Amino acid sequence: MTLQVRVLGSAAGGGVPQWNSLGEACRLARAGDPRSPPRTQTGLAVSVDGHSWWLLDASPDLRQQLADAPALHPQRPPRHTPIRGVVLTGGDVDKVAGLLCLREGEPLSLLATRAVLDLLDATPIFEVLDRDRVERRTLPLDERTPLGDPSTAPSVTAFAVPGKVPRWREDPRDPLGGADPGHAVGLLVEGGGARVAYVPGCAAIEDGWASRLDGASAIFVDGTLWKDDEMRELGVSAKTGRRMGHVSISGADGALARLRGVDAGRKVLIHLNNTNPALIAGTPERDQITAVGWEVAFDGMEMTL
């Protein structure tokens, strides 16, 4: 048995090209330049047996992502899906809007922390996922949760990372949303003799949770921005990465430096924002990433671990 992983999408909210961006990565992607391929919004699909799949996050691009992934197509008429469920790492639009693409009545499990399920429960449009068919399961923190029979399904362990409430629930007086630890989580997926870590959004890398990545077959880590003030510098937003709940790739507190000591089979950056120069092959920023043994995720990237 192995653990199969497919990167459904590798970009942050907005994707590449983002509809309103004429930034370099978006411009190149629109022009069909192979240095910056188009990217949909972040999510993974994982499977132990190759027949039953679980989605990690459900991006607004899910419909296209499923169309592009033969293993996730229906296998028999009239209707069927190999997808057994969805596990969420937060409540951001780019993590949950794709749930609305799964409203055609297949039985699914939807797992998320209590904090994220509370948001979904309070947002009536998600009731389009009939609760008789799509059970909502609370994902406890720090507890290994089997997704099904271990011969056909992996387990997941959610762990809190520094983050914030989704932008659509921000209170202007307290935009980071206090300290509720359930709003941003990383996932350890274990099955088929392999372990994969998926942390697409975290405001800081702390030893407490980062030590869990040690020994993983592959890790997928927040690569939203190259540097904290990148969006300000480009004049597209006043927000820093930290304010958005995202660590940067570079710098002394960045992902590359802080995870240098982590021993993992593959180290992959994911959820790259369209402002990030590392999106573009051949940039000095991309070269710095590959020089220290990291990779940049791309749509359709597959691993058998």
Q: How far is the CB of 13 from ligand MLT (least distance, A)?
A: 3
Q: How far is the CB of 274 from ligand MLT (least distance, A)?
A: 12
Reference 191, options 17, 6, 38, 46; nearest CA is 46
Q: Does 13 engage in binding with Mn ion (CB under 5 A)?
A: yes
Residue pointed to by tokens 């597209």: 236
Q: How far is the CB of 45 from ligand MLT (least distance, A)?
A: 19
Instruction: Count CA atoms closer than 13 A to 283's CA, side-chain side.
Output: 15
Q: Does 191 engage in binding with ligand MLT (CB under 6 A)?
A: no
Instruction: Count CA atoms closer than 13 A to 181's CA, side-chain side.
Output: 10
Rounded CA-CA distance 23/144 in Å is: 42
Q: Which residues contact 98 (CB under 8 A, 6 or more apart)?
A: 43, 57, 58, 59, 60, 61, 62, 63, 65
Rounded CA-CA distance 54/237 in Å is: 34
Among ligand MLT, Mn ion, none, partner that 147 touches (CB below 5 to 8 angstroms by kind): none
Instruction: Among 201, 223, 254, 277, indicate the residue that binds ligand MLT (CB under 6 A).
Output: 201
**What sign does the CA torsion over 162, 164, 165, 171 have?**
positive
Instruction: Among 57, 61, 94, 228, indicate the residue that binds Mn ion (CB under 5 A).
Output: 94
Number of residues in contact with Mn ion under rule CB under 5 A: 4
The residue (of 101 and 176) whose beta carbon lies closer to ligand MLT is 176
Instruction: Among 7, 8, 12, 231, indicate the residue that binds ligand MLT (CB under 6 A).
Output: 12
Residue pointed to by tokens 């480009």: 234
Q: Does 57 engage in binding with Mn ion (CB under 5 A)?
A: no
Instruction: Among 24, 57, 61, 92, indicate the residue that binds Mn ion (CB under 5 A).
Output: 92
The residue (of 192 and 254) whose beta carbon lies closer to ligand MLT is 254
Binding to ligand MLT by CB under 6 A, coded x per residue (else -) over 234-263, reads: ----------xxx-----------------
Q: Does 92 engage in binding with ligand MLT (CB under 6 A)?
A: yes
Q: What are phi and psi of 192, to 5 degrees?
A: 60, 25
Binding site for ligand MLT (CB under 6 A): 12-13, 92-94, 167, 201, 244-246
